[in-house]
Amino acid sequence: MNHQEQPGFVVWMTGLSGAGKTTIALILEEELRQRGLKVERLDGDVVREGLTRDLGFSAADREKNIERVTFVAKLLSRNGVACICSFISPYNSLRQHVKENVTNYVQVFVDAPLDTVIERDVKGMYKKAIAGEIPNFTGISDPFEPPIAPFIHVRTHLQTPLESAGKILGDLEDMGLIPPAVV
């Protein structure tokens, strides 16, 4: 599959903070590049440093954040780019908006139980949220609506990041969105 033949698509990874979205996205990005695909990775933390630094974490600001990211993903995917997006995107309505606006939307639920993500809490955010120091924190003081019917469901408390990425890659191959790995 050369660049002219590559279909654009959006792998939209949703899940709680600390579930493993960024770790898996980095593995996917590297593997897709090795397969010769044009790839862009949009990550919640990175996007908030540039594109959406003016936004907070209220429901309205989260919605605006996802709207802006969706616009970028729409442009990339319709131009034959594999776009890997890792955003908590806690509400089903937000994820539905993404689906309706991008090319070849593939929703991935990066799932880990709350106690697991609290244990993994490398940034100390859950500790602060539980103490009431961070308002509107998804999973603690703000809801996370699990996807109703994700295309791909990985359980990062039961799989390594490589196993989760392998499942996603296999499913993308089965959908005809990426070429099989050359062994």
- What is the end-to-end Cα distance of the chain in Å, rounded? 15
The CA-atom distances, in angstroms, between 140 and each of 62, 89, 98, 135 are 16, 15, 24, 9
CA distance 43 to 60: 19
CA distance 128 to 53: 21
Residue 89 annotated as catalytic? yes
* Residues 26, 129 contacting (CB under 8 angstroms): no
List 84's β-bridge partners, or say none: 11, 41
Residue 121, token pair as written in the block:
């809490």
Annotated catalytic residue, options 17, 77, 86, 89: 89
Map residue 145 onto helix, strand or coil. Answer: coil
Instruction: Give DSSP secondary structure letters for 20-67.
Output: SHHHHHHHHHHHHHHTT--EEEEEHHHHHHTTTTT--SSHHHHHHHHH
Q: Looking at the annotation, which residues are catalytic? A: 89
